Chains A and B, each alone.
Chain A
Amino acid sequence: MDAELIAMQLFSGVALGAILIMVALGLSIIFGMLGVVNFAHGALFMIGAYAGLWVASLTGSFWWGLLIAPIAIGAFGMLIERFLIRPLYKRSIDDPLLLTFGLGYVLVEAVRIVFGSDGIPFQTPPELAGVADLGIGFFPIYRLFVVAVVAVILVLLWLGLEKTKFGLIVRAGAKDPQIMRVLGVDIAKVWLLVFGLGIGLTALGGVLAAPMRNVNPEMGSLVLAEAFVVTVIGGMGSLVGAVVAGLLVGVAISMTALFAPEMATIVMFALMALVLLVRPHGLFGKPVRG
């Protein structure tokens, strides 16, 4: 087992982790603000991949797909929040969860009707195909690109949350929506935007993942479980936790794939069980009451 192979595998783990970060961040932001666990998150990831594929084939350019699909699916997410989830805020926390599960069920079947049940291969855009020599080994350019895009998004998110007025409102609203209402902030509008943002992030993850995986209606179900594992390990509602745990899980999966391929899908669950035993509220989460 030479060092180059390990370095390459480590890097694919980071690329895989980058996708997981996009999905888990969306999940975590929505939960942190709205207190809703979105069970349709995997289905919206899958829809993001299909939307990217569709726009790319219409315009003939991957870049339009990458730009338009997340925005369009984010807008679709806002419709979901406005018309399906908003009526449930006063009810038990289980109700939005049940509703989004049903929604995921419907969305997967709708995609099967429109695009068929078989997978569609998604070509890596020609300008990002091939490998680059980084001195320590050859790395697929596309994966470097994915990691770069996710890094840029993370910086933008951080700046948006820490340095803008909207970010201030979001952070304050996550702590105490009641006070924000008293201060005259239209919290419903903030929640709408935050839900759209969270869905846009997972859709972006879907478009980015498309050339690395086969695009099929079931691709969201594995991602949903992976995103849950990442969120539980990182701590629900913690953005730093989502990033750290996403990388951790990505690297754990790809390193296990190298040494014990049959354990690759299992290792992240074992990791989660371990975290649950030691720190039930996740690495970066705060202990929750009740």
Chain B
Amino acid sequence: MTVSDSSVAAVMAGRAGHRGWRARLTAWRVPLSVLILCLLPWVLPSQALAVNVLIYGLVAVGYNLLFGYTGLLSFGHAAFFGAGAYVTGIAIGKFGLPWYAAVALGVVAGSALAFVIGLLSIRTRGIYFSMVTLALSQLVYYVALQASSLTGGENGLRGFTVARIDLFGWTVDFLDPLKKYYVLMVFAAAALWLVSRILNSPFGAVIEAIRENETRARACGYDVERSKLIAFTLSGLICALAGTLSALHLAIVPLDILHYQTSGMIVMMTLLGGAGSFFGPFVGALAFLLMEDVVSLWTSHWQIVVGSVFILFVLFLPKGIWGSALAWRASR
């Protein structure tokens, strides 16, 4: 048996509610997250930072569904994040679609891309998976670079500013940073609910079983490939949603959003916060972006600091900030 018994025990305990505080935390995780997100613009040094934490936190949540819960280390999630952003921008800027249709289109396109890339990369096992997802997402990057008449190529996609959000007779001024934040937050909250719902479902138990012991999950009769593909696509869907929010927020889509460095950033955020925990990705995004914010005050080379911190985490704190805090609390 390759599974460590303690990790299985931890999963069981979390599910069965042997540890009361942990079960309560799980039951209230969505309202708690939303509450914290509501407070973010008021406690962080700038509202720009709050929006970034919201968007990147959401990407990391989507990514965590695959990396943290299914145990698949993808290095290609920039493709789905970027596809959501590009398709939304193009739908508004080139085809004049209303914002809600553009968002829906972005999410559908990003999920479809995730389905195709997932279909190809899940054929490979183990270590290949990371390399194949990276390579396929770089393919998307180069396609966007070449299709410059549609995507703006190296200059990025511009010219699709959304000034107002209106739905069912409601109108919100989207140029007001605070109102914009709360509009985007509604989407993030819905996504968080969806992720929580997935994790609580039988399917959520299956993907965790695959992470813990793929051979055993297969022996139990679960269709491992199919479950992985569904997890991959759902994870891409959340990332694509975050991408559409990023496009609405910035009113530009930089080409770099598709580069594998963005995928790497998502991986780093997820690990820093704690892969496989519900709050971890948001904690990681917050830690990463705060570090960037603080370090860039005194040097433009903030990446060297963030990268070194990441290396130290891999070596000494692989459970991340939130994951380690949970483990520490559980051991007492």
Contacts from A to B (Cβ < 8 Å): 31, 35, 37, 39, 84, 87-88, 91, 93-95, 97-99, 101-103, 105-106, 108-110, 112-113, 221, 224-225, 228-229, 231-232, 236, 262-263, 265-266, 269-270, 272-273, 276-277, 280-281, 288-290
Which A residues are CB-close (under 8 A) to B138? Answer: 225, 269
From A263, which residue of chain B is reached at the shortest CB distance? Answer: B146
- Residue in A97, A99, A108, A280 whose beta carbon sits within 8 Å of that of B127 in the complex: A97
Cα–Cα distance between A272 and B271 once the two chains are bound (Å)? 29
From A110, which residue of chain B is reached at the shortest CB distance? Answer: B304
Q: Could you tell me the distance in whole angstroms from the C-beta of B82 to the nearest C-beta in chain A?
A: 15
Contact, CB under 8 Å: A276 / B215? no
Given A228-B131, A288-B125, A99-B314 contact (CB < 8 Å)? yes
Contact, CB under 8 Å: A221 / B260? yes
Which A residues are CB-close (under 8 A) to B314? Answer: 88, 95, 98-99, 102
- Residue in B145, B146, B215, B261 whose beta carbon sits within 8 Å of that of A290 in the complex: B215
Residues in B232-275 with C-beta less than 8 Å from chain A: 259-261, 264, 267-268, 271
Contact, CB under 8 Å: B123 / A93? no
Contact, CB under 8 Å: B127 / A98? no
- Proximity bits, B275-317, A CB within 8 Å = 1, else 0: 0000000000000000000000000010110111011001100
Which A residues are CB-close (under 8 A) to B134? Answer: 224-225, 228
Cα–Cα distance between A95 and B320 once the two chains are bound (Å)? 13
Cα–Cα distance between A68 and B318 once the two chains are bound (Å)? 37
Contact, CB under 8 Å: A102 / B311? yes
Given A225-B135, A225-B260, A288-B125, A106-B311 contact (CB < 8 Å)? yes
Cα–Cα distance between A265 and B267 once the two chains are bound (Å)? 25
Contact, CB under 8 Å: B215 / A103? no
From B72, which residue of chain A is reached at the shortest CB distance? Answer: A94
Q: Could you tell me the distance in whole angstroms from the C-beta of A118 to the nearest C-beta in chain B?
A: 14
Which B residues are CB-close (under 8 A) to A236? Answer: 127-128
Interface residues on B, range: 35 or more
Q: Could you tell me the distance in whole angstroms from the C-beta of B305 to the nearest C-beta in chain A?
A: 9
From A237, which residue of chain B is reached at the shortest CB distance? Answer: B127
Contact, CB under 8 Å: B311 / A103? yes
Contact, CB under 8 Å: A99 / B315? yes
Which A residues are CB-close (under 8 A) to B121? Answer: 276
- Residue in B146, B214, B304, B311 whose beta carbon sits within 8 Å of that of A84 in the complex: B311
Number of residue pairs spanning A and B whose beta carbons lie under 8 angstroms apart? 125
Cα–Cα distance between A231 and B127 once the two chains are bound (Å)? 12
Contact, CB under 8 Å: B126 / A91? no
From B133, which residue of chain A is reached at the shortest CB distance? Answer: A228
Contacts from B to A (Cβ < 8 Å): 73, 75, 120-121, 123-128, 130-132, 134-136, 138-139, 142-143, 145-146, 214-215, 259-261, 264, 267-268, 271, 301, 303-304, 306-308, 310-311, 314-315, 318
Contact, CB under 8 Å: A93 / B126? yes
Cα–Cα distance between A110 and B136 once the two chains are bound (Å)? 28
Contact, CB under 8 Å: B271 / A98? yes
- Residue in B127, B259, B310 whose beta carbon sits within 8 Å of that of A105 in the complex: B310
Please classify the interface of chain A as helix (H, G, I), strand (E, B), loop, or mixed, using the class held by over half of its residues: helix
Cα–Cα distance between A159 and B296 once the two chains are bound (Å)? 51
From B124, which residue of chain A is reached at the shortest CB distance? Answer: A280
Contact, CB under 8 Å: B268 / A289? no
Contact, CB under 8 Å: A106 / B139? no
From B2, which residue of chain A is reached at the shortest CB distance? Answer: A290
Contact, CB under 8 Å: A231 / B125? no
From B315, which residue of chain A is reached at the shortest CB distance? Answer: A87
Q: Could you tell me the distance in whole angstroms from the C-beta of A73 to the nearest C-beta in chain B?
A: 19
From B139, which residue of chain A is reached at the shortest CB distance? Answer: A269
Which B residues are CB-close (under 8 A) to A110? Answer: 304
Cα–Cα distance between A221 and B138 once the two chains are bound (Å)? 10
Cα–Cα distance between A106 and B93 once the two chains are bound (Å)? 37
Q: Could you tell me the distance in whole angstroms from the C-beta of B49 to the nearest C-beta in chain A?
A: 21
Which A residues are CB-close (under 8 A) to B120? Answer: 273, 276-277
Interface hub of A91, A103, A112, A266 (most chain B Cβ within 10 A): A266
Contact, CB under 8 Å: A84 / B125? no
Q: Could you tell me the distance in whole angstroms from the C-beta of A236 to the nearest C-beta in chain B?
A: 6
From A87, which residue of chain B is reached at the shortest CB distance? Answer: B315
Contact, CB under 8 Å: A109 / B311? no
Which B residues are CB-close (under 8 A) to A95? Answer: 314, 318
Inter-chain pairs besides A88-B315, A280-B124, 11 sampled, C-beta below 8 Å: A94-B130, A98-B73, A98-B267, A232-B132, A232-B135, A266-B142, A272-B132, A273-B136, A276-B120, A276-B121, A281-B128
Contact, CB under 8 Å: A276 / B124? yes
From A99, which residue of chain B is reached at the shortest CB distance? Answer: B314
Chain A to chain B contacts (Cβ below 8 Å), 13 pairs: A37-B131, A97-B130, A98-B267, A99-B315, A108-B303, A109-B303, A221-B259, A232-B132, A266-B146, A276-B120, A289-B125, A290-B125, A290-B215
Cα–Cα distance between A94 and B70 once the two chains are bound (Å)? 13
Contact, CB under 8 Å: B318 / A272? no
Q: Could you tell me the distance in whole angstroms from the C-beta of B142 to the nearest C-beta in chain A?
A: 4
Contact, CB under 8 Å: A109 / B214? no
Q: Could you tell me the distance in whole angstroms from the C-beta of A271 to the nearest C-beta in chain B?
A: 10
Which B residues are CB-close (under 8 A) to A290? Answer: 125-126, 214-215
Cα–Cα distance between A113 and B260 once the two chains are bound (Å)? 22
- Residue in A37, A106, A221 whose beta carbon sits within 8 Å of that of B307 in the complex: A106
Interface hub of B73, B135, B214 (most chain A Cβ within 10 A): B135
- Residue in A109, A231, A270 whose beta carbon sits within 8 Å of that of B301 in the complex: A109
Contact, CB under 8 Å: B139 / A266? yes
From A261, which residue of chain B is reached at the shortest CB distance? Answer: B146
From A83, which residue of chain B is reached at the shortest CB distance? Answer: B315
Given A88-B315, A105-B264, A225-B134, A269-B301 contact (CB < 8 Å)? no
Cα–Cα distance between A188 and B259 once the two chains are bound (Å)? 36
